[in-house]
Amino acid sequence: MKKKICFIIISVLILLPLTGIAEEIDVNSILNELISGEQTSAVPNITVGNFDLVWSVDTYTPFDYIGRKLPVMGSKVTVDAIVKVSGGSVKSLKYSWFLEDIFQQNKSGYGKTSFYFYVQQRSRAYHTVRLQVFNEDRTVFEEKSIQIPITEPELVVYPSNGNSYFLNQASKVSAVVSNQKFSFIAKPYFFSINKLTDLIFEWNVAGQNPIISSNYNASILDLNVTGKNNNQASEQNLWVSVKNSQTEEQNAFKSIKINIY
């Protein structure tokens, strides 16, 4: 095509002296118009058939958790644009990302179908992400926004009768028989960690020294209450706290009552 354009220009230049109007014609303008017309005709006619936004977060949940992972203060949230087009490629479209209506210039541009940010909102708030998708001449323009709810890290404590089987229902009160082994497991939710050892657990029982650990079994407490000499039940409190060793913003606390028989 370029060879064809050059041939046309040369032909025009040869004929110009014969017409006597060479000084009135801007050859550069002719050339630019021809090249521009060639480029315009080559632009594909893109149409967007489907457009949606989905988000995910890096927070930890136990393996048996069947719900959705939720973001907390300091966690990383990734938003992906699911765009289906015809007549072209999704990479030929421009993507303008907005967080709380603030344009994210460094994370926008051609083919930028993914966007991430770190949560700055507290629990019970939300972040709003908006995306504009368009082509160069704006003959295609689509826009969508989503609200991402923010929660806080959680800790749930489950009791056991001393064997490897823990009850699947948490309770605020647990019965313990004196001079017998009893165990508790604390399950953390929604911490931004790569592995469980990134968490520091602290167990506290009245009359005993705190147990602080970040080992793989730090979430389990083996309890053996001794020294009870009467037949009346007594009551104690069990406290457990957990914090993310990578960030002080993520921590949780739980307490339950223990009835000792």
Q: What CATH topology corresponds to 47-149? A: Immunoglobulin-like (2.60.40)
Q: What CATH topology corresponds to 154-260? A: Immunoglobulin-like (2.60.40)
User: At which residue do the structure tokens 């090249």 appear?
Assistant: 35
Give the amino acid at 79.
V
Q: Helix, strand, coil shares of the chain as percentages rounded to 5? A: 20, 45, 40
- For 32-88, the DSSP string reads HHHHHHHHHHHS---EEEEEEEEEEE--B--TT--S-----TT-EEEEEEEEEEESS
Q: What tokens were used for 156?
A: 């749930």
H or E, element range at 28: helix 27-42
Q: What tokens were used for 98?
A: 């907005």
User: At which residue do the structure tokens 């550069």 appear?
Assistant: 28
pTM of the model: 0.75
Residue pair 214/201 in contact (Cβ under 8 Å)? The answer is yes
pLDDT in tens, the chain (261 residues): 444 444 444 444 444 444 444 444 454 554 455 444 444 334 458 889 899 999 999 999 998 899 999 999 999 999 999 999 988 889 999 999 999 999 999 999 999 999 999 999 989 999 999 999 999 888 899 999 999 999 999 999 988 765 555 556 566 666 676 777 788 889 999 999 989 999 999 999 877 889 999 998 999 998 877 666 666 667 788 899 999 999 989 999 999 888 877
- Identify the pLDDT of residue 8: 43
Q: What tokens were used for 224?
A: 């053996």
Q: If you ran DSSP here, which 8-state letter would residue 218 be given? A: T
Residue 223: count of CB within 10 angstroms of its CB: 21
H or E, element range at 8: helix 2-19
DSSP 3-state assignment of 207? coil
The residues spanned by each domain of the chain are 2-18+25-37, 47-149, 154-260
Q: What angle do CA 144, 145, 146 make, to 5 degrees?
A: 135
